[in-house]
């Protein structure tokens, strides 16, 4: 859902803010609701820092049903998707999600997404803020014989944290145990008697799971999970601070159509065969950047003191502006401000001293290798 206006009878009308299947559930539990990506979503329940720390030590339940769940199928679907994504589907095993990128003709990033091979097609999860544009882009470029289905009757949860496995294993059943899933592996299970798709993945840097489930069962399954002593509901605020500590980019901030995958540090999203063969939308720029390098790159920055810097703040080396912040905030885990920025390549080495301008004042900062907090994926 975009922030644009619909035109009706010549008058500009603000677009309706949509509700998630769990809207009433969030409100009943004291969720503070805000508009995000065209939906009412909980930004916090008991407080961002408390929820952040709980997820780092226990397990947090995130409602991410605003994201787009798509199913793409039809004769020739692999070739059709490889014409759009820099992914090697020949090496993608069934039920194993893989990170990929949706690029425009100039090699700019339209979205980042997850791709999973299901029985006869591919399951895609795209960002909520871009899903309608993504659907339009895919429909424009996919052949007519390829079907694209928005899974509107499905909700999506993320259960994240070091005790996520313990909590989920207690209530899930399937043909094989949950323990068979390692990082970026998935499968079909039953949860509360409902058929669900579970992958061991997430957006916090912690071990955890993403669960696609029937929207009509969302409240029932949320109750079941939150009845486990390890689990509490967590809002958008902690989701953002967790992903920032994990060094994970957020589309619309750290990634845009002006950003190339290489300068964003997402070379791993360009599968090996595609780096040499090309043949995908935007390949010319991507292959050139791989061969020649880029003039700027995404880096982590740690700031001195306690004052956080936010998106849009200028980054300086002496009197020369060398970059701009794309994400920033206070790290509850490190107890200090951190940020991500694009800076000139010659100033991107870890340890480089820089300054960030906030309200006319220069704050000392230092380039830091990402992630800020080590990932704890279960491999």
- The residues facing 198 across adjacent strands are 187, 211
Alpha carbons 22 and 33: distance in angstroms, whole number: 12
Burial of 131 (0-12, 13-18, 19+ CB in 10 A): buried
Q: Is the pLDDT of residue 29 over 90?
A: yes
What is the predicted pLDDT for the residue at 160?
Answer: 98
Percentage of residues in the chain with pLDDT exceeding 70? Answer: 96
Helix (H, G, I), strand (E, B) or coil at 34: strand
pLDDT one-digit tens code per residue, 310-334: 999 999 999 999 999 999 999 999 9
| pLDDT above 50 for 11 | no
Question: 76-126 pLDDT, tens per residue?
Answer: 999 999 999 999 999 999 999 999 999 999 999 999 999 999 989 999 999
Question: Mean pLDDT across the stretch 332-344?
Answer: 98
Based on its alpha-carbon atoms, the radius of gyration of the chain, rounded to whole angstroms, reads: 21
Cβ neighbours of residue 284 closer than 8 Å, sequence gap 6 or more: 107, 278
Q: Please write the tens of the pLDDT for every residue from 245-291.
A: 999 999 999 999 999 999 999 999 999 999 999 999 999 999 999 99
Percentage of the chain lying above the pLDDT 90 cut: 95
Rounded to two decimals, what is the model's pTM? Answer: 0.94
With 0-12 CB in 10 A as exposed, 13-18 as middle and 19+ as buried, what is 99?
middle
Q: What is the pLDDT of residues 207-221, one digit of tens each?
A: 999 999 999 999 999
Q: What is the mean pLDDT of the chain?
A: 95
* Stretch (H or E) spanning 208: strand 208-214
pLDDT tier for residue 16 given thresholds of 50, 70 and 90: confident
Residue 230: which of 178, 177, 159, 173 has the closest Cα? 159
pLDDT band at residue 15 using 50, 70 and 90 as cut-offs: low
The secondary structure of 317-367 as a DSSP string is: ETTEEEEEEEEEEEETTTTEEEEEEEEEGGG-STT-EEEEEETTEEEEEEE
Cα separation, 158 vs 55, whole angstroms: 11
> What is the CA angle 51-53-55, rounded to 5?
70
Cβ-based burial of 150 (10 A; exposed 0-12, middle 13-18, buried ≥19) = middle
User: Could you give all domains of the chain from N- to C-terminal order, each with its CATH number?
Assistant: 17-62+153-245 (3.30.1360.120), 295-379 (2.40.30.110)
Give the span between the Cα atoms of 359 and 275, in whole angstroms.
42
């Amino acid at each position: 859902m975009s922030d644009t206006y619909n035109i009706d009878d010549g008058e500009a009308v603000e677009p309706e803010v949509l509700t998630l299947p769990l809207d009433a559930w969030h409100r009943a539990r004291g969720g503070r609701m805000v508009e995000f990506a065209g939906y009412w979503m909980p930004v916090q329940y008991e407080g961002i820092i408390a929820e952040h720390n709980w997820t780092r030590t226990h397990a947090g339940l995130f409602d991410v049903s605003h994201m787009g769940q798509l199913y793409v199928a039809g004769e020739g679907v692999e070739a059709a998707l490889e014409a759009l994504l820099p992914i090697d589907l020949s090496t993608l095993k069934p039920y194993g999600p893989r990170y990929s990128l949706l690029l425009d003709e100039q090699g700019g990033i339209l979205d980042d997404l997850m791709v999973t091979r299901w029985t006869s097609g591919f399951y895609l999860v795209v960002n909520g803020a871009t899903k309608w544009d993504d659907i339009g882009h895919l429909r424009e470029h996919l052949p007519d014989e390829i079907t694209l289905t928005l899974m509107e009757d499905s909700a999506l949860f993320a259960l994240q944290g070091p005790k996520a496995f313990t909590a989920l294993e207690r209530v899930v059943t399937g043909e094989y145990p949950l323990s068979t899933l390692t990082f970026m592996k998935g499968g079909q299970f039953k949860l509360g008697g409902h058929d669900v798709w579970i992958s061991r993945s997430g957006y916090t840097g912690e071990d955890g799971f993403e669960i696609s489930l029937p929207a009509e069962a969302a409240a029932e399954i949320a109750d079941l999970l939150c009845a486990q002593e390890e689990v509490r509901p967590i809002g958008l605020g902690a989701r953002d601070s967790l992903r920032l500590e994990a060094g994970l980019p957020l589309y619309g901030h750290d990634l845009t159509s002006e950003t190339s995958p290489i300068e964003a540090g997402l070379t791993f999203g360009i599968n090996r065969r595609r780096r040499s063969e090309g043949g995908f939308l935007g390949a010319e720029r991507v292959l050139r950047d791989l061969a020649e390098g880029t003039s700027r790159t995404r880096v982590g920055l740690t700031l001195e003191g306690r004052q956080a810097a936010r998106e849009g703040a200028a980054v300086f080396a002496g009197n020369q502006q060398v970059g701009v912040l794309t994400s920033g905030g206070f790290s509850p885990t490190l107890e200090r401000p951190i940020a991500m920025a694009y800076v000139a390549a010659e100033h991107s080495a870890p340890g480089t001293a820089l300054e960030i301008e906030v309200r006319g004042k220069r704050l000392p900062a230092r380039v830091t290798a990402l992630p800020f907090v080590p990932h704890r994926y279960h491999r």
